[in-house]
Amino acid sequence: MPNRREFLNTLMRGGILAALGLLSGALLFRKRDENSCSTGFACNSCSKSKSCSLPAALEARQTVWQLDPAKCIQCGRCATSCVMSPSAVKCTHAYAMCGYCDLCGGYFKPGTKTLTTAAEHQLCPTNALKRKFIEEPFFEYTVDEELCIGCGKCVKGCSAFGNGSLQLQVRHHRCENCNECSIARKCPSQAFTRVPANQPSLLKGLGNERMQDAGKKGEVNA
Amino acid sequence: MRKTNLVPALLAFTTLFPKTVFAIQRFPKPEFESAYTQPQTQIPLPRGEFMAYLDVAVLLIALSVVTWLVLKKRSRLWVFAMSIFSLGYFGFYREGCVCSIGAIQNVSLALFDSTFVLPLSVILFFILPLLFTLFFGRTFCAAVCPFGAIQDLFAFKPQALGSRLNTVLGIIPYLYLGLAVLFAATGTDFIICRYDPFVGIFRFTASFGMFLFTGILLLSGIFIARPYCRFLCPYGVLLNWTSRFSRSHLTITPKECIQCRLCENSCPYDAIDIPVTTKSPESSPVMVKKMMMMVLIVPVLVIAFGYAGSRMQDTLAGVDPRVKLAKEVLSGMRDAGSGMRDAGYKMQDAGYKMQDAGYKMRDAGYKMRDAGYKMRDESFEIKAFKASGKTESQVYSEASAVLKKFYIGGWLFGGFIGLAIALMIGGRMLPVYRADYVTNKGRCFSCARCVDYCPVKS
């Protein structure tokens, strides 16, 4: 009796072991179908990998969350849906695209007549967007990340009336990289995707960006 | 001069009512005369990839150490110390992500979605605890999983629930596992992460509702030890079944059981099986009858629940954002909403005129007006849909593809639940014979509490 039970046990153990082996084999060597690729980021064993616009993505073994500014409609849910408080999504300024306008659609509320830095004229609810005079008629706009809550009000203004240089981005030194991003769940335009960890930005119109190690929290400014 | 150029442009844009227009170089890049240099846009890099492998290394070491402590050292105190370490590292330092429980979803999605990137570290987080359990019992639950560790701190006055309640409540994890795999495989949602009660505690960011739920869970854990592990944890289902066939497992006594009954009430998790020395009183014809019934019950339950699952296709698929969007597009285009509102106004007026005759009609008018108001306010989803340039038919075909997946998934999910229930019934029918007090290999978390109660020392 005990022998038979033991034999059955060993048999089942072997079966489970084989199943686990098969499962991990299937997971390690699964085929990636390039035709079903919707994000353009899943690259291992992709036939387009050589002509791919993101060759670095090939080496990615891990992914992080990022939002595609081209899909973003600035609904404001980034500010409220993140597990972090304030949100890990911040307004990021692609300076290379900026027109340095005096009347900035991202800075001023629509209908503002006197272009001063008075609080009642500002779109930003937290005074995170700073305006600095450079030379006639140019003004520089910088984002104070410590104040920014990622509501996207300035982004909306900038993309509607300006060049669209203000864009929302997940700032990875603040992001927990949750298994499933809680903003992605709420995002109405499916702008959140998993991107290769070594290519973590989907910022548009860059030219002079600088990748920075996320080790030191709070040091990186947009 | 720039300002004068801007104002008409601004006016034009406001009057044209732009949708989301993206990245148009409306204003040229300025040519600065002063010595101004443009600042660089800085992009912070995420946590280094090697850190994920550090986590795997810590997992492997923790599993090995706990297994050694449970099987060889047989020390509750050291197991407890390790559980504090795991709570600190996997819980509060790593903030509960990625965990083995949640990895179920990554693995399920990876099997069905070829574009999904599944890191090696996540595969290892999923497989390693199962492998250890297959050989040494649920030592992962004992002191590696931070969820178990935090609940273990609250098990002050554990009450025995009785075998019936344990079995019935034990069905919930099967439901949870089935739903989690279904929603992950269809790419709908990661419900284990969404309804994770402890991650909000580890990060100090729980919402009020979740905080309340966690609080109730932890406080009920004073009397019902480890409620999440026993009656919710979906990974526990897999560990339970692998542990039943484990090669070596924690034993209460290091040598022979002397039937002293000291360990009888030592297990907070009702995982000690008491001896059943009277042979099953049933005669063989009764047993044959029972066996026949089981042979009938299994396929009947599997098919019945599978059918019920497939009928729940709409309800289950309704969670999916693609299906939600299709429903919204279908039910509420803006014009239809305004039209209904106007109709509502008219009906309301008619209701006033006919006030003597029909108060009821006026109320109906109010209701319709409100419905119209609701529909007039376009949701962000509809706005995003309009901005994306997708056609309605694209949205519908996407949603119907998801619905099809949920039809098959509903059958599989229902069948799985049917099988679980059939096995539960079958398990209770089986005749048992045990001479000694032994750990129930499926339920036992290998916490090693019972070891201290055994007077036999090696």
Q: Please give the interface size between A and B, counted as residue pairs whose CB atoms are below 8 Å apart.
A: 250
My answer on whether A117 and A174 are in the same domain is yes
How many structural domains compose chain B?
2
* pLDDT of A62 higher than 70: yes
pLDDT at B21: 43
Query: Taking Cα atoms as reference points, which of A38, A64, A61, A34 lies closest to residue A49?
Result: A34
In a domain, B108, yes or no: yes
Concatenated DSSP letters for B231-268?
HT-HHHHHHHHHHHT-SS---SSSS------TTTTT-T
What lies within 8 Å, CB to CB, of A135 at 6+ separation is: B32, B33, B34, B36
Mutation target to probe the A interface, by most A beta carbons within 10 A, among B117, B246, B379 is B117
Name the domain count of chain A: 3
Instruction: Indicate the angle between helix axes B120-136 and B234-244, nearest 10 degrees.
Output: 40
Give the Cα separation of B359 and B361 in Å (integer).
5
> What is the pTM for the complete model shown?
0.84
- Give residue for tokens 């290769």: A196
Q: Which two tokens stand for residue A21?
A: 């082996």
- Taking the C-alpha atoms of residue B32 and residue B68, their distance in angstroms, rounded to an integer, is 69
**SS3 state of residue B83:** helix
Which residue intervals of chain A are DSSP H helices? 2-28, 77-81, 153-161, 182-186
Question: Contacts of residue A211 in chain B, CB cutoff 8 Å?
Answer: 42-45
Where in the sequence is the domain holding B372, given as residue range(s)? 280-433
**Average pLDDT of span A52-59:** 49
The pLDDT averaged over each successive group of 10 residues in chain B (458 residues) is 41 40 69 86 84 93 97 94 96 89 94 83 95 96 96 93 91 96 94 92 88 94 95 96 94 91 92 83 78 90 96 92 86 64 77 66 74 68 84 89 94 96 87 87 94 88
Contact residues on chain A for B242, CB-CB shorter than 8 A: 16
Residue B140 lies in a domain: yes
Task: Judge whether B229 lies within some domain.
Answer: yes
Instruction: Tell whether B294 and B195 lie within a shared domain.
Output: no
Residues 6+ apart with CB under 8 A from A143: A90, A91, A92, A93, A128, A129, A130, A166, A221, A222
Question: Residue A194 pLDDT more than 50?
Answer: yes
Per-residue pLDDT of B243-265, as tens digits, reads 999 999 999 999 889 999 999 88
Q: B103 and B147 in one domain? A: yes
For helices B172-185 and B100-112, what crossing angle results, to 10°? 40
Is residue A159 less than 8 Å (CB to CB) from chain B? yes
- Flag whether A220 is in a domain: no
User: Distance between CA B259 and CA B252 in Å, rounded?
Assistant: 11
Inter-chain contact B24–A164, Cβ cutoff 8 Å?
Answer: yes
CB proximity A112 to B under 8 Å: no
Residue in B closest to A12 by C-alpha? B245
So what's the pLDDT on residue A117? 87
Nearest by CB to A70, which of B22, B130, B193? B22
Predicted pLDDT of residue B4: 40
Residue A149 falls within a domain, yes or no? Answer: yes
| Domain-located, residue B346 | yes
Bridge-based pairing state of the strands A129-135 and A138-143: antiparallel
Domain boundary among A61, A77, A103: A61
Residues A55 and A101 in one domain: no
pLDDT digits (tens, 9 = 90+) for A83-106: 888 999 999 999 888 999 999 999
pLDDT of residue B335: 56
Residue A174 within a domain: yes
Which one of B53, B107, B112, B115 would you mutate to disrupt binding with A, by most A Cβ within 10 Å of its Cβ?
B115
**Do B221 and B287 fall into the same domain?**
no
% chain A with pLDDT above 90:
46
Q: What range does the domain containing A121 cover?
A: 63-196
**Does residue B2 lie in a domain region?**
no
Residue A179 is encoded by which pair of tokens?
A: 């298994």
pLDDT at B281 (0 to 100): 64
Residue A48 sits in the same domain as residue A148: no
Do both A149 and A47 map to the same domain? Answer: no
The answer to whether residues A26 and A38 belong to one domain is no
Residues A83 and A169 in one domain: yes
Q: Are residues B251 and B326 in the same domain?
A: no
A99 and A54, same domain (yes or no): no
Q: Where are the beta strands (DSSP E) in B313-419?
A: none
One domain, residues B250 and B296: no
Residue A81 and residue A43 share a domain: no
Comparing CB atoms, the residue among B115, B194, B379 nearest residue A32 is B115
> What is the Cα–Cα distance from B195 to B148, expressed in whole angstroms?
16
pLDDT of residue B28: 84
Q: Which of B105, B130, B380 sits opposite A73 (nearest CB)?
A: B380
**d(Cα B363, Cα B348) in Å, to the nearest integer?**
8
Q: Which of A6, A179, A201 has the highest number of chain B CBs within 10 A, making it the mutation to test binding with B?
A: A179
User: Which residue would you say has higher pLDDT here, A48 or A185?
Assistant: A185
- Is residue B192 within 8 Å of residue B101, measured between CB atoms? yes
Q: Are the Cβ atoms of B49 and A73 closer than 8 angstroms?
A: no
Give contacts of B104 with chain A, Cβ < 8 Å: none
Structure tokens at B82: 């390790």
Lowest mean pLDDT among A54-58, A168-172, B146-150: A54-58
Domain identity same for A185 and A159? yes
Residues B218 and B296 in one domain: no
Asked, for residue B73, whether it belongs to a domain, the answer is yes
- Classify residue B43: in a domain, yes or no: no
Q: Do A27 and B1 touch (CB under 8 A)?
A: no
Q: Which helix (H) or strand (E) holds A215?
A: none
Nearest CA-CA partner of A182 in A78, A86, A92: A78
Judgement on whether residues A26 and A77 belong to the same structural domain of the protein: no
Is any Cβ of chain A less than 8 angstroms from the Cβ of B16? no
Contact between B193 and A73 (Cβ < 8 Å)? no
Interchain CB distance below 8 Å, B115 and A33: yes
Three-state DSSP string of A107-124: CECCCCCCCCCCHHHECC
Using CA atoms of A149, B321, B122, B218 in order, give the dihedral in degrees to the nearest 10: 70
What is the structure's pLDDT at B8? 42
If asked whether residues B420 and B374 sit together in one domain, one would say yes
**What pLDDT digit, counting tens, does each position of B57-90 carry?**
999 999 999 999 999 999 999 999 999 999 999 9
Do B270 and B409 lie in one domain? The reply is no
Residue with the bigger pLDDT between B57 and A212: it is B57
Indicate the residue of B46, B203, B245 with minimum beta-carbon distance to A12. Answer: B245
Q: Across residues A34-52, what is the average pLDDT?
A: 51
Interface membership of A53 toward B (CB under 8 Å): no
B 92-121 → A contacts, CB under 8 A: 95, 97-98, 102, 105-107, 110-111, 114-121
For A66, the 3-state DSSP assignment is strand
- B186 domain-assigned: yes
Q: Indicate the helix (H) or strand (E) that contains A68.
A: none
